[in-house]
Amino acid sequence: MSTDRSAKGAAHRPVNLDLTQFSFPFAALASITHRITGVILFGAIGFLLWWFGEATSSPEGFAAVAGSGSFKFLVWLILCAVSYHFFAGIKHLLLDFHIADTIEGGELAAKIAVGLAAVTSLLLGIWIW
DSSP string, 39-103: HHHHHHHHHHHHHHHHHHH-HHHHHHHHT-HHHHHHHHHHHHHHHHHHHHHHHHHHHHTTSS-SH
pLDDT of residue 7: 57
The rounded distance, in Å, linking the Cα atoms of 36 and 44 is 12
Q: What is the mean pLDDT of residues 104-117?
A: 96
In this predicted structure, the answer to whether residue 99 has a pLDDT above a threshold of 60 is yes
Which pLDDT band, with edges at 50, 70 and 90, does 85 fall under? very high
Considering the chain, what is the average pLDDT of its residues?
88
Domain boundary assignment for the chain: 25-128
Which pLDDT band, with edges at 50, 70 and 90, does 25 fall under? very high
For the full predicted model, state whether its pTM sits above 0.75: yes
pLDDT of residue 35: 96
Residues 6+ apart with CB under 8 A from 27: 103, 106, 107, 109, 110
Q: What is the mean pLDDT of residues 91-116?
A: 94
What topology does CATH give the domain 25-128? 3 helical TM bundles of succinate and fumarate reductases (1.20.1300)
Q: What is the mean pLDDT of residues 43-69?
A: 88
Percent residues over pLDDT 70 in the chain: 89
